A and B are shown apart, each in its own frame.
Chain A
Amino acid sequence: MADGIRDKVAILGMGCTKFGERWDCSGEDLMVESFLECLADAGIEKKEIQAAYLGVHIDEVNVGKAGTPLGSALKLPFIPITRTENFCATATEAFRAACYAVAAGAYDIVLALGVEKLKDTGYGGLPGGAAFGTEMFMRGSNATAPGLFAQLATAYSAKYDIPMSKIKDAIAHISAKSHYNGSLNPKAHLRKAVPEEAIKAAPMIAYPLGLFDCCGVSDGSAAAIVTTPEIAKSLKRNQDLIKVKALQISVSSGEEEIYTKWDGAHFATTRVAATKAYKEAGITNPREEVSMMEVHDCFSITEFVTMEDVHISPKGGAYEDVMSGFYDLNGQVPCQVDGGLKCFGHPIGASGLRMIYAMYEQLLERVPDERKVKNARFGLTHNLGGTPAKNVAAISIIGRD
């Protein structure tokens, strides 16, 4: 009987580039940058890596398909490299595959690396294309990501009878909090604190989301080297062991998109993945036990409803928790401690690993006091890729014993 991933894999090293508009860097440069930091942190040599997984999402711009971009950029010597792609969970999938390879006993030391070189599109936002198949050119709405996620707000307002003005207040607080956290982080894309009033007054992108409700579109790369807890312990005698506690993915069944029972105000996938992840990690009371989170705040409203979907705020209760500062850096469960997608940035194929990196450096207490989460034990990361009606949700939990 399968019993999950808990405590079967440890993180040996991690690396993460500065995210942002890296006009001077190619995708290859970004891969090399995160990899060299990761390798140094792991304290091993490149030849000890037995297999690798590359997370890359967008085909329209970027590094290309398959495992070859990673092999060529890092000069990995003919090892197995597999590309993973699962929307915004792409990097988490690379990490999950690497962990499973170790847990299966197939390899001892495996690399997971995510990269996205987005800023060659020539315009803001993500490139369009056939993300849901070419058939959608014929019958899909003229939608962009902000507009699809913005609808969570109108649906949530209708479901819980909360006026749009209160939702606007809460999502402004969410973005202000992430801007503050990002301002403390030298690797973050956007490093300026922005007051809530300015956030609410920003130009509208997709009602009710304004400019500051949308995350940065960034270039970046993040990487992890994973191994067995035994090997990690032998290589890192003077360091806490950071172990994988849970890795869960949930993918839409088509129900949210075309069946009438979904209310449009929550992520069915996130709820399922979170429930399974807590069980896998042995967490029974997430509101009390989760120390900190990096959730998928592609838009402020996504973070707002996700606070309920990861079972930390009660259903219909996100507004109170957000406004009370529960998720602020000094709150009970700090969220987006590194600035989040909002300010750290969102190179799709790297984001899942960047979130794990943020939890990893907190658990190892490598961050300065001003942004340190005290006594952190469990760090949760969450990706949500696709649209509210058709998506992939990933939950990872890593922990320090």
Chain B
Amino acid sequence: MAGIVAYGGYVPRYRLNRGLVYGAMGWMNPANITNARGEKAVANFDEDSITMAVAAGIDALKGMDRNTVGGVYFASTSMPYKERLNAGIITAALGLNDQIRAADFSGGIKAGTTALLAALEGVAAKGVDNVLVTASDARLGKPASPQEMIFGDAAASLLVGSENVIAEFKGSFSTTYDFVDHYRGENAKYDRQWEDRWIRDVGFAQLVPEAVNGLLEKYGLAMTDFNKVVYPCHYGAARKGLNKKFGITPEMEQSNLQVEIGETGTPHSLVMFVKALEDAKPGDKILLVSFGSGCDALYFEVTENITKLAPRAAISGSLANRADLDNYTKYLIWRDIMPGDAGLRSEEDLWTRWSQLWRKRREVLGLWGTKCQACGTIQYPKQRICVNPDCGVPDKMDEYCFSDKVGKIASYTGDNLAASVNPPAIYGQVIFEEGGKYMFDFTDCDLDSLATGMPVVMSFRRKYTDKHRDIAGYFWKAVPKKEEA
């Protein structure tokens, strides 16, 4: 049996009130008032599609043995690299085995469900098992555009396997059309779209029904067979029309989270699907439909195993962890939409030495350190000679992973001299509960909220951007640990 073994979600902490955006840019496009409801989730300055995919992946793998993961399928249309496997960076960050399959799925925003289908069918064919599908996007609309209002950033992950399945995969139906509602060319930073009425009346109103009817007919199902229907469509009128057409009751309809997160692109149907799974009961049937260059329609039946799944943040948990981004220009600077002067210090050249990263990839991307076989001292980064002055034994080390460990703040500061687009740069020493100490940048926090002794967890973030050489560099930062729900 192939299906979903676990799910995870990630919504970045910062939320930008659409009224704030309208207040800044509404003068240029007054009609955007129709989109100016609620808030959009926005990636922090050090987040991108890769880091959010890792965060959702960590959530999905909670309580799982990472050695059992057999593949990573990453879906996104905002991947930081065109050449360099983005899923490879995610694999390393998640501390997975090297000898697994990883692939990037991109091009259209239905790539999230296409990656999911590839995983499900690969598992069903016994070619691979326990594939982590992680989808994430951080798409940009130009200031004053509808997309700027409508889009949001988030990620969703699904572990696909054959054992302990919480939602069994029952079947699918796909269509593919070169329907160009939105597109970005090779060098585009911002999304472009065609007329809303056409997208609504030809795209959603015709292509979604074709896929849904295709699935229903193929498997002899009726819409009333489903407890939950997941489909993305941010046009309110089109949603109403489709709900009416198919008889999707308010209980059956999975919210598109437009008011809370926004249209997140590639991950969107999966973000909604994860939200649906959070509330699902054994026996529930869920219809999952994606949209973008055609549609994928999939259906699942929830099993008893869902009651045994370890607690996780998923979409609800990360939605609850929110902070206002109360400054629109900060958003523009973070996304490099508006030039900002971070001072001459910010212009120092930070060469990325790929051979050095290759040597140190376990430490840098996976946050692996060592544990001394002789005395048990845990240490980061990896050491040849044990740092314990009473030990000092050479070359008796086991690898030890810090990325999933909890630490405590031993000292900290907020640095206004350091070049940053989010000053002050906050960093400090973290002492891990099981041992080990290191100085980390802190993120997703405010200086005033910190105190020595406060527990922190590790989060994979973009450490630097080398604009000159088009390089995104990654490392781990410390984030104050949230109270367990």
Taking a contact as CB atoms under 8 Å apart, the answer to whether A260 and B418 are in contact is no
A105: B residues at CB distance < 8 A: none
Taking a contact as CB atoms under 8 Å apart, the answer to whether B413 and A206 are in contact is yes
Taking a contact as CB atoms under 8 Å apart, the answer to whether B411 and A125 are in contact is no
Interface membership of A146, Cβ < 8 A: yes
Given contacts A143-B427, A155-B452, A259-B377, whether A138 and B387 have CB atoms under 8 Å apart is: no
* B residues in contact (CB < 8 Å) with A: 343-345, 348, 350-353, 356-357, 360, 363-364, 377, 379-381, 383, 387-389, 410-420, 424-425, 427-429, 431, 435-441, 447, 452-453, 463-464, 473, 475
* Residue from the list A121, A122, A124, A258 in contact with B380, Cβ < 8 A: A258
Q: A137-B352, A138-B360 are in contact. List 8 more A-B contacts (CB 8 A).
A: A135-B356, A138-B357, A144-B415, A144-B425, A147-B415, A259-B379, A264-B411, A264-B429
Identity of the chain A residue whose Cβ is nearest the Cβ of B380 in the assembled complex:
A258
Given contacts A144-B417, A254-B387, whether A154 and B412 have CB atoms under 8 Å apart is: yes
* Residue from the list B364, B388, B416, B441 in contact with A259, Cβ < 8 A: B388
9 smallest CB-CB distances across A and B, nearest first, come from A147-B415, A151-B411, A155-B411, A141-B427, A150-B413, A158-B452, A206-B415, A123-B344, A144-B417
Q: CA–CA, A220 to B417, complex, Å?
A: 23
* Residue from the list A134, A146, A155, A259 in contact with B417, Cβ < 8 A: A146
Taking a contact as CB atoms under 8 Å apart, the answer to whether B439 and A143 are in contact is yes
- Segment 355-401 of A: residues with Cβ below 8 Å from B: 389
Taking a contact as CB atoms under 8 Å apart, the answer to whether B417 and A141 are in contact is no
Interface membership of A237, Cβ < 8 A: no
Interface membership of A160, Cβ < 8 A: no
Identity of the chain B residue whose Cβ is nearest the Cβ of A137 in the assembled complex:
B350
Q: Please give the distance in Å from A40's CB to the nearest CB on chain B.
A: 39
- Segment 93-124 of A: residues with Cβ below 8 Å from B: 121-124
Q: CA–CA, A145 to B336, complex, Å?
A: 27
Q: CA–CA, A157 to B464, complex, Å?
A: 32
A129: B residues at CB distance < 8 A: 348
Identity of the chain B residue whose Cβ is nearest the Cβ of A157 in the assembled complex:
B452
* Residue from the list A121, A135, A144 in contact with B418, Cβ < 8 A: A144
Taking a contact as CB atoms under 8 Å apart, the answer to whether A389 and B439 are in contact is yes
Q: CA–CA, A124 to B357, complex, Å?
A: 31
- Segment 238-259 of A: residues with Cβ below 8 Å from B: 253-255, 257-259
Most buried by A among B389, B420, B429, B463: B429
Interface membership of A47, Cβ < 8 A: no
Taking a contact as CB atoms under 8 Å apart, the answer to whether A134 and B356 are in contact is yes
Taking a contact as CB atoms under 8 Å apart, the answer to whether A138 and B473 are in contact is yes
Q: Please give the distance in Å from B374's CB to the nearest CB on chain A.
A: 15
* Residue from the list B381, B414, B453 in contact with A206, Cβ < 8 A: B414
Given contacts A158-B452, A206-B415, whether A147 and B344 have CB atoms under 8 Å apart is: no
Most buried by B among A121, A138, A148, A259: A138
A128: B residues at CB distance < 8 A: 345, 348
Given contacts A125-B417, A142-B419, A144-B418, whether A154 and B428 have CB atoms under 8 Å apart is: yes
Q: Please give the distance in Å from B483's CB to the nearest CB on chain A.
A: 22
A121: B residues at CB distance < 8 A: 344
* Residue from the list A152, A204, A258 in contact with B411, Cβ < 8 A: A152
A155: B residues at CB distance < 8 A: 410-411, 429, 452
Taking a contact as CB atoms under 8 Å apart, the answer to whether A142 and B428 are in contact is no
Taking a contact as CB atoms under 8 Å apart, the answer to whether B435 and A134 are in contact is no
Taking a contact as CB atoms under 8 Å apart, the answer to whether B425 and A143 are in contact is yes
Taking a contact as CB atoms under 8 Å apart, the answer to whether A124 and B417 are in contact is yes
Q: CA–CA, A106 to B388, complex, Å?
A: 39
Identity of the chain B residue whose Cβ is nearest the Cβ of A123 in the assembled complex:
B344
Taking a contact as CB atoms under 8 Å apart, the answer to whether B438 and A137 are in contact is no
A254: B residues at CB distance < 8 A: 383, 387
A142: B residues at CB distance < 8 A: 415, 418-420, 425, 427, 441
Q: Show 26 A/B contacts (Cβ-Cβ < 8 Å), sorted by A.
A: A121-B344, A123-B345, A128-B348, A134-B353, A135-B356, A138-B475, A139-B364, A139-B463, A141-B427, A141-B439, A141-B441, A142-B419, A143-B415, A147-B415, A147-B418, A151-B429, A205-B417, A206-B413, A207-B413, A207-B424, A254-B387, A257-B437, A258-B380, A258-B387, A258-B438, A389-B439
Identity of the chain B residue whose Cβ is nearest the Cβ of A155 in the assembled complex:
B411
Taking a contact as CB atoms under 8 Å apart, the answer to whether A258 and B437 are in contact is yes
Interface membership of A127, Cβ < 8 A: yes
B429: A residues at CB distance < 8 A: 151, 155, 264, 389
Q: CA–CA, A257 to B431, complex, Å?
A: 11
Most buried by B among A134, A146, A258: A258
Identity of the chain A residue whose Cβ is nearest the Cβ of B364 in the assembled complex:
A138
Q: CA–CA, A338 to B138, complex, Å?
A: 56
B473: A residues at CB distance < 8 A: 137-138
Most buried by B among A129, A139, A144, A204: A139
Q: Please give the distance in Å from B455's CB to the nearest CB on chain A.
A: 15
Taking a contact as CB atoms under 8 Å apart, the answer to whether A138 and B431 are in contact is no
Q: CA–CA, A234 to B363, complex, Å?
A: 61
Taking a contact as CB atoms under 8 Å apart, the answer to whether B387 and A259 are in contact is yes
Q: Mark A297-335, 1 if CB is under 8 A from B, else 0.
A: 000000000000000000000000000000000000000
Taking a contact as CB atoms under 8 Å apart, the answer to whether B344 and A151 are in contact is no
Q: CA–CA, A42 to B440, complex, Å?
A: 50
Q: CA–CA, A135 to B435, complex, Å?
A: 23
Taking a contact as CB atoms under 8 Å apart, the answer to whether B387 and A255 are in contact is yes
* Residue from the list A123, A138, A141, A257 in contact with B356, Cβ < 8 A: A138
Q: CA–CA, A33 to B449, complex, Å?
A: 51
Taking a contact as CB atoms under 8 Å apart, the answer to whether B411 and A154 are in contact is yes
Taking a contact as CB atoms under 8 Å apart, the answer to whether A206 and B420 are in contact is no
Most buried by A among B364, B387, B425: B387
Given contacts A255-B387, A258-B436, whether A147 and B417 have CB atoms under 8 Å apart is: yes
Q: CA–CA, A253 to B413, complex, Å?
A: 24
Taking a contact as CB atoms under 8 Å apart, the answer to whether A139 and B344 are in contact is no
